[in-house]
Amino acid sequence: MHNVDLSVTLAGMTMKNPVVVASGTFGFGREYGEFYDLSELGGICAKGLTLHRREGNPGPRIAETPMGILNSVGLQNPGVDAFIATELPFLRQYDVKVIANISGNSPEEYGVMCEKLSEAGVDMIEVNISCPNVKAGGLAYGTRPELAAEVTEVAKAHAGQVPVMVKLSPNVTDITEIARAVEGAGADALSLINTLRGMRIDVNTRRPILKMNTGGMSGPAVLPVAVRMVWEVSNAVKIPVLGMGGVSKGEDAAQMMLAGATAVAVGTACFADPYAPLKVRDGLAEIAARQGLSAVSELTGGVKPW
């Protein structure tokens, strides 16, 4: 591939290329594995796990938007133990880094899951802090610096040698405040952005299209917001960033990396085109080659602000 070195290292985890598939858009890889060898990817971020099995939200739970989708799937998953027993061995057949994404209702739940996943030997744990904290009246951990820091500390204390990456919510006034709090609590990396809250209404029935009324917006429409937040966060912290939000082609990924991301995740684009992550990878290599770079990692942080 143009003799450009595609490998990147994210918080001590070396991937053969900087393209990860985003949590919740790739399941546990089985379906996509019928299209191509999953070893082609840099990393797979598995669908979000909770301590116990969850059925998710009632439907409809997906709605299209002009440049993306809204979802309120509600973390439907088989639970962390089932993942370790059946899905992790499947993923381990491939030469790809496995990132487990976890959600909890209390810091204790995050701790238990980190312990289990660390013992099972995942490559990285992505901590979703967009979940509501039951004790704090349903406030999302990701909206208050002290709550985000508390979850991060507990996760780090129970994750052993496995790096902990915290996934930041964009639904805040200042994302750098949360980023700094999480870094201070010991996070090894940050991933951003999670979905933006949105809503669609059927004007004839006057009912929201999603049964849960609102949902998370993803897809090409959120890319400029994500690039801006990745840039702000990269300038605010020293730990590496996994950039995501609307990435569907090489140029999108290059923007993320120039803004400061070490690696990128492709999510919603996978629904329209299962091969999107591979096209992003190849597109990135082409851009790096065209610019005379010897490695794609040289793009990281290369933006020249006015």
List residues with catalytic annotation.
131
Between the two ends of the chain, the Cα-to-Cα distance in Å is 33
- 135 appears as a binding residue in the annotation: no
Closest CA relative to residue 96, chosen from 172, 179, 32: 32
Rounded Cα gap, residues 117 and 247, in angstroms: 28
Q: What is the largest CA-CA distance in the chain?
A: 57
- 246 appears as a binding residue in the annotation: yes
- 105 appears as a binding residue in the annotation: no
- 250 appears as a binding residue in the annotation: no
- 219 appears as a binding residue in the annotation: yes
Assess whether the previous peptide bond of 62 is cis (omega < 30° from 0): no
Residue 44 and residue 29 in contact, taking contact as beta carbons nearer than 8 Å: yes
- 101 appears as a binding residue in the annotation: yes
Q: What is the CA radius of gyration of the chain?
A: 18
Give the helix, strand, coil percentages of the chain, each rounded to 5. Answer: 35, 20, 45
- 72 appears as a binding residue in the annotation: yes
How far, in Å, are 11, 37, 133, 214 from residue 162 at the CA level? 10, 25, 24, 34
- 62 appears as a binding residue in the annotation: no
- 104 appears as a binding residue in the annotation: no
- 193 appears as a binding residue in the annotation: yes
- 142 appears as a binding residue in the annotation: no
User: Binding site residues, as ranges?
Assistant: 23, 47-48, 71-75, 101, 128, 167, 193-195, 219, 245-246, 267-268
Which parts are annotated binding residues for FMN? 23, 47-48, 101, 128, 167, 193, 219, 245-246, 267-268
Binding residues for substrate: 47, 71-75, 128, 194-195
